[in-house]
Amino acid sequence: MPSKSIDHAFTARHALGAASDPTYAGALSFMRRRFTKNVKGADAVIWGIPFDAAVSNRPGARFGPQAIRRASAIFDNDPQYPFSLDLFEALSVVDYGDCLLDYGRPDRAPAMIEREASKILASGAFLVSLGGDHFVTWPLLRAHAEKHGSPLALVQFDAHQDTWPDDGKRVDHGSFVGRAVREDIIDPARSIQVGIRTHAPEDCGIRILHGFDLEEMRAEEIAEIILGHVGETPAYVTFDIDCLDPAFAPGTGTPVAGGPSSAKMLSVLRRLGGLNIVGADVVEVAPPYDHADITAIAGAAVAMHYLGLLAERKRR
């Protein structure tokens, strides 16, 4: 096999081009992208944030980045469905590895995440972050708002509103959205939450598409509502994997029954190419509660869709 190679994450000479590793072997970067801290010239950077000290129920999302990378090996570098193109023919993507965090000082995590994210964003690359629990979106939002201007629109796929009150200092995955509204990081009038199946004390003026509503809607209708509501506002997309019904994402810290399928939500993502997306993440993948990598595969597919939309945008 003279044209084949192995361990593309380390042996690749540049960031373009597909890998040829078998799906069952080789170094497990995200979609076999080259591991490097040098992001110069990269269109997109994949970054893991192994943090779960903010969870209110089951911990384990610190293992999410590893699991999502492992699951991404199933993408065998053929043209990716449903985009019908080799994502890496013209899109330069690198895997930056993980954020270094002190597990004994969770209070320092927000500043460390924001500082490193800002460093990556300064290169001009699009940042796709792999959580970690949903608190990591808070420092990511701050970094993106500093880069792209605030307030941003937030497009949140989630079973929870995450608008519970806090004192502005808590490390809590259930309150970061309310904090972002109060600190003018996101614009509630242009933000939307999709898949909500719980009640919080306040909605902060954010539009909500509830879980049971999604059941009666087609993916096209959901996407049209999102596109119309956000408009041209620079948008940050965050996908909490518990947006999906536990049948499609059992490996998460706070599962809620009655949610949509992975097929429907991926179809919605596929239709969001008209958004001005400036950053994105997928969070709350907790492998200790997963079965046969179901949740990790869904998380990897979400991240791949982000890259697909970015590749199409660059091609246009």
What single string gives the DSSP state of each residue in 77-97? SSSBTTTTB-TTTT--EEEEE
Which is more confidently placed, 128 or 172?
Answer: 128
Nearest to 91 by CA among 83, 100, 101: 83
Instruction: Give the model's pLDDT for residue 82.
Output: 95
For range 52-70, the mean pLDDT: 94
Binding residues for Mn(2+): 134, 158, 160, 162, 240, 242
Query: In this model, does residue 122 exceed pLDDT 50?
Result: yes
Nearest to 156 by CA among 108, 117, 106, 204: 204
Instruction: Give the model's pLDDT for residue 27.
Output: 86
d(CA 252, CA 296): 10
Instruction: Give the model's pLDDT for residue 236.
Output: 98
Binding residues: 134, 158, 160, 162, 240, 242
For range 118-136, the mean pLDDT: 97
* Range scoring the smallest mean pLDDT among 2-16, 33-47, 296-310: 2-16
What are 75-95's pLDDT values in tens digits? 877 789 999 999 999 899 999
What are 198-220's pLDDT values in tens digits? 999 889 999 999 999 999 999 99
Instruction: Give the model's pLDDT for residue 156.
Output: 98
The proportion of the chain whose per-residue pLDDT surpasses 90, expressed as a percent, equals 79
For range 150-156, the mean pLDDT: 97
Alpha carbon of residue 314 to chain centroid: 19
Indicate the average pLDDT of the chain.
Answer: 94
d(CA 265, CA 164): 25
Instruction: Give the model's pLDDT for residue 18.
Output: 82
Determine the CATH number of domain 8-315: 3.40.800.10
Instruction: Give the model's pLDDT for residue 3.
Output: 64
Instruction: Give the model's pLDDT for residue 32.
Output: 93
**Pseudo-torsion of CA 214, 254, 242, 152, nearest 10°?**
90
Which is more confidently placed, 40 or 165?
Answer: 40
* Tokens of residue 307, six digits: 């890259």
Ranges assigned E (strand) in the chain: 34-35, 44-49, 93-98, 126-131, 153-157, 192-196, 207-210, 235-240, 277-283
For range 141-164, the mean pLDDT: 96
d(CA 112, CA 266): 31
- pTM for this entry: 0.95
Confidence class for position 174, pLDDT limits 50, 70, 90 = confident
* Tokens of residue 184, six digits: 């003018």
Q: Are strands 153-157 and 192-196 parallel, antiparallel or unpaired?
A: parallel
Burial classification of residue 315, based on how many CB atoms lie within 10 Å of its CB (0-12 exposed, 13-18 middle, 19 or more buried): exposed
For range 294-315, the mean pLDDT: 97
Burial classification of residue 273, based on how many CB atoms lie within 10 Å of its CB (0-12 exposed, 13-18 middle, 19 or more buried): middle
Query: In this model, does residue 11 exceed pLDDT 90?
Result: no
d(CA 236, CA 71): 24
Query: In this model, does residue 137 exceed pLDDT 80?
Result: yes
For range 221-238, the mean pLDDT: 98
Instruction: Give the model's pLDDT for residue 78.
Output: 79
d(CA 260, CA 29): 29
Instruction: Give the model's pLDDT for residue 92.
Output: 96
Q: What angle do CA 299, 270, 256 make, to 5 degrees?
A: 45
* Tokens of residue 210, six digits: 């509830």
The residues, ordered by sequence, that sit 6+ positions from 105 with a Cβ below 8 Å of its Cβ are none
For the chain, what's the residue count? 316
Q: What angle do CA 245, 247, 250 make, to 5 degrees?
A: 85
Instruction: Give the model's pLDDT for residue 2.
Output: 47
Instruction: Give the model's pLDDT for residue 195.
Output: 98
Instruction: Give the model's pLDDT for residue 169.
Output: 81
User: Sign (positive/negative) of CA torsion 83, 86, 88, 90?
Assistant: negative
d(CA 269, CA 128): 14
For range 159-169, the mean pLDDT: 87
For range 92-105, the mean pLDDT: 94
Instruction: Give the model's pLDDT for residue 4.
Output: 72
Instruction: Give the model's pLDDT for residue 1.
Output: 44
Burial classification of residue 145, based on how many CB atoms lie within 10 Å of its CB (0-12 exposed, 13-18 middle, 19 or more buried): buried
